Amino acid sequence: MKKVAFLAGGTAVLGLVVFAAWFFRPWAEYSPFNIIWNRETGDRVELYRRMDELFPHRIVEGEEKAEPLPRSIKAIDESYDWQGERKTIDEYAAESDTTALMVVKDGRVVFERYYQGEDAESRHTSWSVAKSYVATLIGMALMDGTISSLDDPVSKYVPDFEGTDYGSTSLRHLLMMSSGIDFIEDYESRGSDMRKLFFDVFIMNVDVDEFVKPYRRNRPAGTDLDYLSPNSHVLSMVLRKAYDKPLAEIASEKIFKPLGMADGTWLIDRNAPDGKEIGYCCLQTRAEDYARFGQLYLQDGMWQGQRLLPVGWTDLVSVPPTEVHEAGSTQYGERGYGLHFWVPEDPAGEYFANGYNGQSVFIDPANNVVVVKTGADIDQIPRRSETTAVLRALARAVK
Protein backbone atom coordinates (compact mmCIF):
# COMPACT_ATOMS: atom_id res chain seq x y z
CA MET A 1 0.00 0.00 0.00
CA LYS A 2 2.84 2.34 0.89
CA LYS A 3 4.49 1.49 -2.40
CA VAL A 4 1.30 2.38 -4.31
CA ALA A 5 1.01 5.65 -2.39
CA PHE A 6 4.68 6.40 -3.07
CA LEU A 7 4.24 5.74 -6.79
CA ALA A 8 1.11 7.87 -6.91
CA GLY A 9 2.87 10.68 -5.10
CA GLY A 10 5.86 10.40 -7.40
CA THR A 11 3.61 10.49 -10.45
CA ALA A 12 1.87 13.61 -9.11
CA VAL A 13 5.19 15.33 -8.46
CA LEU A 14 6.43 14.39 -11.92
CA GLY A 15 3.20 15.74 -13.38
CA LEU A 16 3.68 19.03 -11.55
CA VAL A 17 7.27 19.27 -12.74
CA VAL A 18 6.21 18.62 -16.36
CA PHE A 19 3.40 21.18 -16.08
CA ALA A 20 5.73 23.77 -14.52
CA ALA A 21 8.27 23.21 -17.28
CA TRP A 22 5.56 23.63 -19.93
CA PHE A 23 4.06 26.68 -18.20
CA PHE A 24 7.29 28.59 -17.55
CA ARG A 25 9.42 27.24 -20.47
CA PRO A 26 12.73 28.75 -19.34
CA TRP A 27 14.37 27.51 -22.54
CA ALA A 28 11.85 29.19 -24.86
CA GLU A 29 11.42 32.72 -26.16
CA TYR A 30 7.69 32.72 -25.31
CA SER A 31 5.92 31.06 -22.38
CA PRO A 32 2.31 30.66 -21.20
CA PHE A 33 3.31 32.21 -17.86
CA ASN A 34 4.47 35.47 -19.44
CA ILE A 35 1.43 35.62 -21.69
CA ILE A 36 -1.11 35.00 -18.92
CA TRP A 37 0.66 37.17 -16.36
CA ASN A 38 0.85 40.13 -18.70
CA ARG A 39 -2.67 39.63 -20.08
CA GLU A 40 -4.28 39.60 -16.63
CA THR A 41 -2.33 42.51 -15.16
CA GLY A 42 -4.39 45.59 -14.37
CA ASP A 43 -1.81 47.90 -15.98
CA ARG A 44 -1.77 47.17 -19.68
CA VAL A 45 0.14 50.24 -20.87
CA GLU A 46 3.56 48.58 -20.95
CA LEU A 47 2.06 45.32 -22.22
CA TYR A 48 0.61 47.03 -25.29
CA ARG A 49 4.05 48.34 -26.22
CA ARG A 50 5.61 44.91 -25.76
CA MET A 51 3.13 42.52 -27.36
CA ASP A 52 5.64 41.44 -29.98
CA GLU A 53 8.17 40.61 -27.23
CA LEU A 54 5.73 38.29 -25.47
CA PHE A 55 4.02 36.58 -28.40
CA PRO A 56 5.28 34.91 -31.57
CA HIS A 57 5.17 37.37 -34.46
CA ARG A 58 6.23 38.05 -38.01
CA ILE A 59 7.93 41.26 -39.17
CA VAL A 60 5.91 43.48 -41.50
CA GLU A 61 8.66 45.12 -43.51
CA GLY A 62 8.30 48.83 -44.12
CA GLU A 63 10.20 51.30 -46.24
CA GLU A 64 13.95 50.95 -45.68
CA LYS A 65 14.33 54.68 -44.99
CA ALA A 66 10.92 55.72 -43.70
CA GLU A 67 10.64 59.49 -43.91
CA PRO A 68 8.55 61.23 -41.23
CA LEU A 69 5.34 62.95 -42.22
CA PRO A 70 5.80 66.72 -42.60
CA ARG A 71 5.21 68.61 -39.36
CA SER A 72 3.43 71.90 -38.81
CA ILE A 73 2.73 71.78 -35.08
CA LYS A 74 0.33 74.50 -33.97
CA ALA A 75 -1.42 75.61 -30.85
CA ILE A 76 -5.02 74.43 -30.83
CA ASP A 77 -7.97 74.53 -28.49
CA GLU A 78 -7.26 71.58 -26.20
CA SER A 79 -10.66 71.54 -24.50
CA TYR A 80 -13.97 69.90 -25.22
CA ASP A 81 -17.47 69.82 -23.78
CA TRP A 82 -18.65 66.71 -21.98
CA GLN A 83 -21.91 66.39 -20.05
CA GLY A 84 -22.06 70.09 -19.29
CA GLU A 85 -18.42 70.29 -18.23
CA ARG A 86 -15.44 71.80 -20.03
CA LYS A 87 -12.54 69.34 -19.91
CA THR A 88 -9.02 69.29 -21.34
CA ILE A 89 -7.48 66.74 -23.65
CA ASP A 90 -4.81 65.97 -21.04
CA GLU A 91 -7.49 65.29 -18.41
CA TYR A 92 -9.13 62.84 -20.76
CA ALA A 93 -5.77 61.23 -21.55
CA ALA A 94 -5.02 60.68 -17.86
CA GLU A 95 -8.46 59.20 -17.14
CA SER A 96 -8.41 56.90 -20.16
CA ASP A 97 -4.79 55.66 -20.07
CA THR A 98 -4.18 57.25 -23.46
CA THR A 99 -0.61 56.81 -24.67
CA ALA A 100 -0.57 58.84 -27.91
CA LEU A 101 -2.67 61.43 -29.71
CA MET A 102 -1.84 62.65 -33.20
CA VAL A 103 -3.73 64.96 -35.54
CA VAL A 104 -2.89 65.13 -39.25
CA LYS A 105 -4.45 68.00 -41.21
CA ASP A 106 -3.96 68.30 -44.99
CA GLY A 107 -1.26 65.63 -44.78
CA ARG A 108 0.78 67.41 -42.09
CA VAL A 109 1.11 66.52 -38.40
CA VAL A 110 -0.30 69.51 -36.54
CA PHE A 111 -0.72 68.02 -33.05
CA GLU A 112 1.37 65.27 -31.46
CA ARG A 113 1.44 64.23 -27.83
CA TYR A 114 2.64 61.12 -25.99
CA TYR A 115 1.89 59.89 -22.50
CA GLN A 116 3.00 57.22 -20.00
CA GLY A 117 6.41 56.56 -21.52
CA GLU A 118 5.26 56.33 -25.13
CA ASP A 119 7.22 58.23 -27.77
CA ALA A 120 7.25 58.74 -31.52
CA GLU A 121 9.10 55.47 -32.13
CA SER A 122 6.93 53.32 -29.85
CA ARG A 123 5.10 50.52 -31.62
CA HIS A 124 1.68 50.12 -30.05
CA THR A 125 -0.73 47.23 -30.52
CA SER A 126 -3.63 47.78 -32.88
CA TRP A 127 -6.02 45.25 -31.46
CA SER A 128 -9.01 45.37 -33.81
CA VAL A 129 -7.75 48.33 -35.83
CA ALA A 130 -6.03 45.48 -37.69
CA LYS A 131 -9.47 44.39 -38.94
CA SER A 132 -9.59 47.57 -41.04
CA TYR A 133 -6.15 46.74 -42.48
CA VAL A 134 -7.46 43.31 -43.48
CA ALA A 135 -10.47 44.94 -45.15
CA THR A 136 -8.11 47.33 -46.96
CA LEU A 137 -6.12 44.39 -48.30
CA ILE A 138 -9.38 42.82 -49.51
CA GLY A 139 -10.10 46.03 -51.43
CA MET A 140 -6.60 46.00 -52.92
CA ALA A 141 -6.99 42.35 -53.91
CA LEU A 142 -10.28 43.23 -55.59
CA MET A 143 -8.59 46.02 -57.53
CA ASP A 144 -5.68 43.87 -58.74
CA GLY A 145 -7.97 40.97 -59.69
CA THR A 146 -6.70 38.50 -57.09
CA ILE A 147 -10.25 38.49 -55.71
CA SER A 148 -12.98 38.65 -58.35
CA SER A 149 -16.00 39.72 -56.29
CA LEU A 150 -17.03 40.52 -52.73
CA ASP A 151 -19.98 38.21 -53.31
CA ASP A 152 -17.71 35.20 -53.77
CA PRO A 153 -17.96 32.57 -51.03
CA VAL A 154 -14.95 31.96 -48.81
CA SER A 155 -14.57 28.41 -50.16
CA LYS A 156 -13.64 29.79 -53.60
CA TYR A 157 -10.33 30.91 -52.08
CA VAL A 158 -10.09 28.54 -49.09
CA PRO A 159 -10.97 25.08 -50.46
CA ASP A 160 -10.41 23.51 -47.02
CA PHE A 161 -13.54 25.33 -45.85
CA GLU A 162 -15.77 23.77 -48.51
CA GLY A 163 -18.85 22.36 -46.81
CA THR A 164 -18.51 24.55 -43.70
CA ASP A 165 -20.73 27.48 -42.77
CA TYR A 166 -17.81 29.87 -43.01
CA GLY A 167 -16.96 28.39 -46.39
CA SER A 168 -20.40 29.30 -47.76
CA THR A 169 -20.30 32.86 -46.37
CA SER A 170 -19.59 35.68 -48.83
CA LEU A 171 -16.71 38.08 -48.36
CA ARG A 172 -19.24 40.93 -48.30
CA HIS A 173 -21.16 39.44 -45.38
CA LEU A 174 -17.91 38.94 -43.46
CA LEU A 175 -16.95 42.58 -44.09
CA MET A 176 -20.43 43.64 -42.91
CA MET A 177 -20.08 41.53 -39.74
CA SER A 178 -23.22 39.73 -40.87
CA SER A 179 -22.00 36.13 -41.09
CA GLY A 180 -24.73 34.70 -38.84
CA ILE A 181 -22.07 32.58 -37.10
CA ASP A 182 -22.84 31.54 -33.51
CA PHE A 183 -19.89 32.94 -31.54
CA ILE A 184 -19.75 34.89 -28.25
CA GLU A 185 -17.48 37.92 -28.68
CA ASP A 186 -16.67 38.83 -25.08
CA TYR A 187 -13.11 39.71 -24.17
CA GLU A 188 -13.52 39.79 -20.40
CA SER A 189 -15.95 36.95 -19.51
CA ARG A 190 -14.33 33.62 -18.79
CA GLY A 191 -15.85 30.84 -20.85
CA SER A 192 -16.72 33.04 -23.84
CA ASP A 193 -15.73 31.90 -27.32
CA MET A 194 -13.37 34.86 -27.57
CA ARG A 195 -11.53 33.92 -24.38
CA LYS A 196 -11.35 30.31 -25.56
CA LEU A 197 -9.86 31.48 -28.86
CA PHE A 198 -7.21 33.49 -27.00
CA PHE A 199 -6.34 30.60 -24.67
CA ASP A 200 -6.27 27.87 -27.32
CA VAL A 201 -4.24 29.88 -29.83
CA PHE A 202 -1.79 31.74 -27.59
CA ILE A 203 -1.39 29.22 -24.77
CA MET A 204 -2.05 25.83 -26.37
CA ASN A 205 -0.64 26.70 -29.83
CA VAL A 206 -3.82 25.58 -31.56
CA ASP A 207 -3.90 26.37 -35.29
CA VAL A 208 -6.03 29.53 -35.53
CA ASP A 209 -7.52 28.51 -38.91
CA GLU A 210 -8.63 25.18 -37.51
CA PHE A 211 -10.07 26.86 -34.42
CA VAL A 212 -12.56 28.97 -36.40
CA LYS A 213 -13.37 26.32 -39.01
CA PRO A 214 -16.13 24.36 -37.17
CA TYR A 215 -18.24 27.31 -36.01
CA ARG A 216 -21.81 27.11 -37.31
CA ARG A 217 -24.40 29.62 -38.38
CA ASN A 218 -27.55 30.01 -36.24
CA ARG A 219 -29.31 32.62 -38.44
CA PRO A 220 -29.10 33.63 -42.10
CA ALA A 221 -26.06 35.59 -43.22
CA GLY A 222 -26.61 39.21 -44.18
CA THR A 223 -29.53 39.81 -41.81
CA ASP A 224 -27.95 41.45 -38.76
CA LEU A 225 -24.88 43.12 -37.32
CA ASP A 226 -22.88 40.87 -34.99
CA TYR A 227 -19.27 41.93 -34.54
CA LEU A 228 -17.20 38.72 -34.53
CA SER A 229 -13.42 38.53 -34.67
CA PRO A 230 -13.38 35.18 -36.54
CA ASN A 231 -15.08 36.93 -39.49
CA SER A 232 -11.97 39.08 -39.92
CA HIS A 233 -9.64 36.14 -39.45
CA VAL A 234 -11.42 34.20 -42.20
CA LEU A 235 -10.96 37.23 -44.50
CA SER A 236 -7.24 37.12 -43.68
CA MET A 237 -7.23 33.44 -44.64
CA VAL A 238 -8.76 34.37 -48.00
CA LEU A 239 -5.91 36.82 -48.55
CA ARG A 240 -3.21 34.32 -47.56
CA LYS A 241 -4.64 31.65 -49.84
CA ALA A 242 -5.32 34.01 -52.75
CA TYR A 243 -1.80 35.49 -52.74
CA ASP A 244 -0.13 32.29 -51.48
CA LYS A 245 2.00 34.15 -48.95
CA PRO A 246 1.85 35.22 -45.30
CA LEU A 247 -0.42 38.12 -44.39
CA ALA A 248 2.56 40.14 -43.11
CA GLU A 249 4.19 39.95 -46.56
CA ILE A 250 0.98 41.06 -48.25
CA ALA A 251 0.62 43.98 -45.84
CA SER A 252 4.26 44.93 -46.42
CA GLU A 253 3.90 44.96 -50.21
CA LYS A 254 0.46 46.59 -50.36
CA ILE A 255 0.39 49.02 -47.42
CA PHE A 256 3.60 49.45 -45.41
CA LYS A 257 6.11 50.02 -48.21
CA PRO A 258 3.89 52.07 -50.55
CA LEU A 259 2.85 54.37 -47.68
CA GLY A 260 6.42 54.80 -46.40
CA MET A 261 5.79 53.18 -43.02
CA ALA A 262 8.50 51.86 -40.73
CA ASP A 263 8.72 48.15 -39.91
CA GLY A 264 5.89 46.72 -37.84
CA THR A 265 5.01 43.27 -36.55
CA TRP A 266 1.96 41.00 -36.72
CA LEU A 267 1.33 38.35 -34.07
CA ILE A 268 1.11 34.74 -35.24
CA ASP A 269 -0.35 31.59 -33.71
CA ARG A 270 2.96 29.76 -33.34
CA ASN A 271 6.62 30.35 -34.03
CA ALA A 272 7.66 31.10 -37.60
CA PRO A 273 7.97 29.81 -40.24
CA ASP A 274 4.72 27.88 -39.74
CA GLY A 275 2.83 30.58 -37.84
CA LYS A 276 -0.30 32.16 -39.25
CA GLU A 277 -1.11 35.80 -38.55
CA ILE A 278 -3.99 36.52 -36.19
CA GLY A 279 -6.19 38.25 -38.74
CA TYR A 280 -8.60 39.88 -36.32
CA CYS A 281 -6.00 41.85 -34.36
CA CYS A 282 -2.44 42.26 -33.20
CA LEU A 283 -0.63 44.49 -35.62
CA GLN A 284 2.09 46.53 -33.90
CA THR A 285 3.16 49.86 -35.37
CA ARG A 286 3.78 53.53 -34.60
CA ALA A 287 1.16 56.24 -34.13
CA GLU A 288 2.47 58.03 -37.21
CA ASP A 289 2.03 54.93 -39.32
CA TYR A 290 -1.55 54.50 -38.12
CA ALA A 291 -1.97 58.10 -39.29
CA ARG A 292 -0.60 57.21 -42.73
CA PHE A 293 -3.20 54.45 -42.95
CA GLY A 294 -5.96 56.95 -42.15
CA GLN A 295 -4.51 59.41 -44.64
CA LEU A 296 -4.81 56.82 -47.41
CA TYR A 297 -8.55 56.75 -46.77
CA LEU A 298 -8.75 60.53 -46.46
CA GLN A 299 -7.19 60.71 -49.94
CA ASP A 300 -9.81 58.32 -51.35
CA GLY A 301 -7.30 55.50 -51.78
CA MET A 302 -4.70 57.59 -53.61
CA TRP A 303 -1.06 57.88 -52.51
CA GLN A 304 1.52 60.03 -54.30
CA GLY A 305 -0.53 60.00 -57.48
CA GLN A 306 -1.06 56.22 -57.49
CA ARG A 307 -4.43 54.59 -56.86
CA LEU A 308 -4.10 51.87 -54.21
CA LEU A 309 -7.80 51.23 -53.54
CA PRO A 310 -10.68 50.77 -55.99
CA VAL A 311 -12.71 53.80 -57.01
CA GLY A 312 -15.61 54.07 -54.57
CA TRP A 313 -14.03 51.83 -51.92
CA THR A 314 -13.84 54.51 -49.23
CA ASP A 315 -17.53 55.27 -49.68
CA LEU A 316 -18.37 51.57 -49.59
CA VAL A 317 -16.64 50.85 -46.29
CA SER A 318 -17.70 54.05 -44.51
CA VAL A 319 -21.47 53.86 -45.08
CA PRO A 320 -23.71 51.43 -43.15
CA PRO A 321 -24.87 48.85 -45.73
CA THR A 322 -28.31 48.24 -44.16
CA GLU A 323 -30.64 49.92 -41.69
CA VAL A 324 -29.53 47.58 -38.89
CA HIS A 325 -25.96 48.81 -39.37
CA GLU A 326 -26.83 52.47 -38.85
CA ALA A 327 -25.75 54.39 -35.75
CA GLY A 328 -28.46 54.22 -33.11
CA SER A 329 -29.95 51.03 -34.57
CA THR A 330 -27.30 48.58 -33.42
CA GLN A 331 -26.60 46.61 -30.28
CA TYR A 332 -23.41 48.67 -30.02
CA GLY A 333 -25.24 51.73 -28.75
CA GLU A 334 -24.46 54.98 -30.49
CA ARG A 335 -22.11 53.50 -33.09
CA GLY A 336 -22.96 52.23 -36.54
CA TYR A 337 -20.92 49.98 -38.82
CA GLY A 338 -19.83 49.99 -42.43
CA LEU A 339 -17.54 47.33 -43.88
CA HIS A 340 -14.92 46.81 -41.15
CA PHE A 341 -15.05 50.48 -40.16
CA TRP A 342 -17.22 52.06 -37.47
CA VAL A 343 -19.45 55.08 -37.96
CA PRO A 344 -19.95 57.51 -35.02
CA GLU A 345 -23.24 58.80 -33.68
CA ASP A 346 -24.76 61.68 -35.66
CA PRO A 347 -22.24 61.08 -38.45
CA ALA A 348 -21.02 64.04 -40.48
CA GLY A 349 -19.10 61.85 -42.90
CA GLU A 350 -16.63 60.59 -40.26
CA TYR A 351 -15.73 56.94 -39.80
CA PHE A 352 -13.03 55.14 -37.87
CA ALA A 353 -11.03 51.99 -37.26
CA ASN A 354 -11.32 50.93 -33.64
CA GLY A 355 -9.54 48.53 -31.31
CA TYR A 356 -9.92 47.04 -27.84
CA ASN A 357 -8.97 49.27 -24.90
CA GLY A 358 -9.09 52.48 -26.87
CA GLN A 359 -7.20 52.33 -30.18
CA SER A 360 -8.65 54.59 -32.91
CA VAL A 361 -7.89 55.90 -36.38
CA PHE A 362 -10.55 58.58 -36.86
CA ILE A 363 -11.11 59.85 -40.41
CA ASP A 364 -12.90 63.18 -40.96
CA PRO A 365 -13.13 63.95 -44.70
CA ALA A 366 -15.09 67.19 -44.20
CA ASN A 367 -12.17 68.71 -42.26
CA ASN A 368 -9.45 66.77 -44.12
CA VAL A 369 -8.20 65.42 -40.81
CA VAL A 370 -7.03 62.10 -39.36
CA VAL A 371 -6.84 61.66 -35.59
CA VAL A 372 -4.94 58.72 -34.08
CA LYS A 373 -5.33 57.58 -30.50
CA THR A 374 -3.58 54.69 -28.75
CA GLY A 375 -4.00 53.59 -25.17
CA ALA A 376 -4.89 50.94 -22.62
CA ASP A 377 -8.33 52.02 -21.48
CA ILE A 378 -9.95 49.17 -19.55
CA ASP A 379 -13.12 51.30 -19.29
CA GLN A 380 -13.31 51.94 -23.04
CA ILE A 381 -16.94 50.83 -23.41
CA PRO A 382 -18.58 53.21 -20.91
CA ARG A 383 -16.24 55.93 -22.24
CA ARG A 384 -17.09 55.43 -25.94
CA SER A 385 -19.26 58.54 -26.37
CA GLU A 386 -16.72 60.73 -24.59
CA THR A 387 -13.94 59.33 -26.78
CA THR A 388 -15.94 60.28 -29.87
CA ALA A 389 -16.35 63.80 -28.44
CA VAL A 390 -12.57 64.05 -27.91
CA LEU A 391 -11.69 62.81 -31.39
CA ARG A 392 -14.18 65.18 -32.97
CA ALA A 393 -12.95 68.11 -30.89
CA LEU A 394 -9.38 67.46 -32.05
CA ALA A 395 -10.47 67.08 -35.68
CA ARG A 396 -12.38 70.35 -35.62
CA ALA A 397 -9.90 72.38 -33.57
CA VAL A 398 -7.39 72.69 -36.38
CA LYS A 399 -8.17 75.45 -38.88
298/274: higher pLDDT: 298
pLDDT at 27: 46
Average model confidence (pLDDT) for the chain?
Answer: 91
Lowest average pLDDT, out of 41-45, 163-167, 287-291, goes to: 41-45
Is residue 376's pLDDT more than 90? yes
30 band by pLDDT with thresholds 50, 70 and 90: low
What's the pLDDT tens digit per position in 312-335? 999 999 999 999 999 988 888 789
- For residue 187, name the pLDDT band (cuts at 50, 70, 90): confident
Whether 2 has a pLDDT exceeding 80, the answer reads no
Q: How confident is the model at residue 18 (pLDDT cuts 50, 70, 90)?
A: very low
**Whether pLDDT at 215 is above 70:** yes
CA distance 229 to 212: 10
Where, residue-wise, is CATH 3.40.710.10 in the chain? 54-397
- Look at residue 315 in the predicted model and tell me its pLDDT: 97
Region 165-178 average pLDDT: 98
Q: How far, in Å, CA of 299 to CA of 342, rounded? A: 18
- Which amino acid makes up residue 218? N
C-alpha to C-alpha distance for 52 and 393, rounded to whole angstroms: 33
Across 219-224, average pLDDT: 97
Query: What mean pLDDT is predicted for residues 383-398?
Result: 96
Q: Give the mean model confidence (pLDDT) for residues 126-140.
A: 98
Contact 212, 234 (CB under 8 A): yes
Q: Give the residue-averaged pLDDT of 56-72.
A: 94
* pLDDT attached to residue 193: 96
HEC string of the chain equals: CHHHHHHHHHHHHHHHHHHHHHHHCCCCCCCHHHHHHHHHCCCCHHHHHCHHHHCCEEEECCCCCCCCCCECCCCCCCEEEECCEEEEHHHHHHHCCEEEEEEEECCEEEEEEECCCCCCCCEEECCCHHHHHHHHHHHHHHHHCCCCCCCCEHHHCCHHHCCCCCCCCEHHHHHCCCCCECCCCCCCCCCCHHHHHHHHHHHCCCCHHHHHCCCCECCCCCCCCCCCHHHHHHHHHHHHHHHCCCHHHHHHHHHHCCCCCCCEEEEECCCCCCCCECCCCCEEEEHHHHHHHHHHHHCCCEECCEECCCCCHHHHHHCCCCHHHCCCCECCECCEECCCCEECCCCCCCEEEEECCCEEEEEEHHHCEEEEEEECCCCCCCCHHHHHHHHHHHHHHCC
Over residues 244-248, mean pLDDT: 98
As a whole-number percent, the residues of the chain with pLDDT over 90 amount to 80
pTM: 0.92
pLDDT of 118 above 50? yes
pLDDT at site 317: 98
Q: CA 232 to CA 286: how far, in whole Å? A: 22
- Choice among 57-61, 242-246, 327-331, 367-371 with the minimum mean pLDDT: 327-331
- Please calculate the CA angle 194-200-201 and round it to the nearest 5 degrees: 90
| CATH superfamily, region 54-397 | DD-peptidase/beta-lactamase superfamily (3.40.710.10)
